[in-house]
Homo-oligomer: A and B are copies of this chain.
């Protein structure tokens, strides 16, 4: 596709090429999964077969070694052109794997033994082609103030988890879930915890209830936790409940730029089918090609500008993330450095998802009504693309708070909407 964002590393180019092949295949079934609201298990299986699913893991540990945020985004972009539900589901898994790989890189700088501990976990995931998805969203609260509770169970050296998550994208195919919790340990102030919970854990139930406007194949079900026991080794404390741990913000913010690639992919697909149609359809009474009509050309110009805008901000932000991560590691990154980077990634996610919306809307306009019919792919893309702004970590409303406050040198956590009240602290 002309003008598309190209991968920058050899490993990334290999991944992108694979993604294009898969996308072509996934596209065959995207409409059906949308209609039925079914999860594309066969797509995930296909991505397991050739190791795609392990892309962000180090080559040394059996992965494809695509550590470039930019190139992971490109791969998600290509998948998004074929089946956006699959693309955002895969991104869920990539997020966690990439973060683990970063931890491994970090550990290696300190000691072999520390590195080996992380490597062991990574190798296990990659070799068994395990699928892991984050599960951090709940109704009525923010990501860092989960109401799902993990209570210390001293008798078994672990925690008992109770609660309900929503938007559990990829959960149908997951082998384990990364779950944010409110840690309750005696009288201590509640902490934010992150648990890795195997899906087979008794009491964990994927509700099979995802039924939404779009992204209907993403399996974004509710996930219920009823007295799930989690071993202490699988629970990590991230700091005070209610404020962002920099590392978590970094992981989710980076992931949000990658996932924006999927929405760009939706828009690119919409553009391709729309232009193809305009170049071949004629309209009575003049009988001229639609493409020859100046008013059509004007809208196409708008469409091109939307796409170029999205590509520019997205590729720049991701390339700058790569530059940053090349010499900053989780253990030695200061909070303000994270925010400086996040500002660009969060802005990119915002702009890309909105330009993608605008582009698909323009395509619908250019379709002249045909795209409004359920049988036309544009009607699906129009529903899918609307999910973009809702993607974590920040809603459009939070995005402006975050960008505005950090630009002004204020603590982004301290605004009215996200801060626990003093008395609750």
Candidates B275, B400, B404, B408; contact of A279 at CB < 8 Å? B408
Complex contact B288–A416 (CB within 8 A):
yes
Complex contact A419–B286 (CB within 8 A):
yes
A186 contacts the other chain (CB 8 A): no
Complex interface: chain B residues within 8 A of A281 (CB): 140
Complex contact A142–B284 (CB within 8 A):
yes
User: Shortest beta-carbon distance, A387 to chain B, in Å?
Assistant: 6
Residue of B nearest to A365 (CB): B396
Complex contact B145–A275 (CB within 8 A):
no
A9 contacts the other chain (CB 8 A): no
A315 contacts the other chain (CB 8 A): yes
Please report the C-alpha to C-alpha distance between residue A404 and residue B301 in the assembled complex, in whole angstroms.
4
Residue of B nearest to A297 (CB): B404
Contacts known (A285-B142, A292-B416, A348-B312); A372 close to B212, Cβ less than 8 A: yes
Complex contact A294–B416 (CB within 8 A):
yes
Complex contact B309–A373 (CB within 8 A):
no
Chain A, interface size category, equals 35 or more
User: Shortest beta-carbon distance, A411 to chain B, in Å?
Assistant: 11
Chain A 373-411, CB-CB to B under 8 Å as 1, else 0, gives 111000100110011011000011111111111011110
Tell me how many chains of this kind the complex includes: 4
Complex contact A305–B350 (CB within 8 A):
yes
Chain A 270-307, CB-CB to B under 8 Å as 1, else 0, gives 00000100110111111110011111111111111100
Complex contact B379–A285 (CB within 8 A):
no
Candidates B166, B291, B344, B351; contact of A409 at CB < 8 Å? B291
Q: Is the interface of A mostly helix, strand, loop or mixed?
A: helix
User: Shortest beta-carbon distance, A178 to chain B, in Å?
Assistant: 19
Candidates B291, B294, B368, B372; contact of A213 at CB < 8 Å? B372
Complex contact A285–B242 (CB within 8 A):
yes
A262 contacts the other chain (CB 8 A): no
Please report the C-alpha to C-alpha distance between residue A213 and residue B278 in the assembled complex, in whole angstroms.
21
Complex contact A241–B373 (CB within 8 A):
no
Candidates B147, B375, B418; contact of A211 at CB < 8 Å? B375
User: Shortest beta-carbon distance, A314 to chain B, in Å?
Assistant: 7
A98 contacts the other chain (CB 8 A): no
Which residues 342-385 of A have a CB within 8 angstroms of B?
343-344, 347-348, 350-351, 364-366, 368-370, 372-375, 379, 382-383
Complex interface: chain B residues within 8 A of A420 (CB): 285-286
Please report the C-alpha to C-alpha distance between residue A299 and residue B397 in the assembled complex, in whole angstroms.
8
A415 contacts the other chain (CB 8 A): yes
Complex contact B308–A344 (CB within 8 A):
yes
A127 contacts the other chain (CB 8 A): no
User: Shortest beta-carbon distance, A367 to chain B, in Å?
Assistant: 9
Candidates B212, B351, B373, B389; contact of A212 at CB < 8 Å? B373
Chain A positions within 8 Å of B, measured between CB atoms, are 2-3, 137, 139-142, 144-145, 147, 166-167, 211-214, 241-242, 275, 278-279, 281-288, 291-305, 308-309, 311-317, 340, 343-344, 347-348, 350-351, 364-366, 368-370, 372-375, 379, 382-383, 386-387, 389-390, 395-405, 407-410, 415-421, 424
Task: Please name 18 further chain A to chain B contacts, defined as beta carbons within 8 Å, in addition to the given A286-B419, A295-B415, A313-B313, sorted by A numbering.
Answer: A213-B383, A214-B372, A275-B407, A279-B408, A285-B419, A286-B416, A286-B417, A294-B295, A294-B404, A294-B415, A297-B408, A297-B410, A298-B401, A302-B400, A304-B404, A305-B351, A312-B312, A372-B387
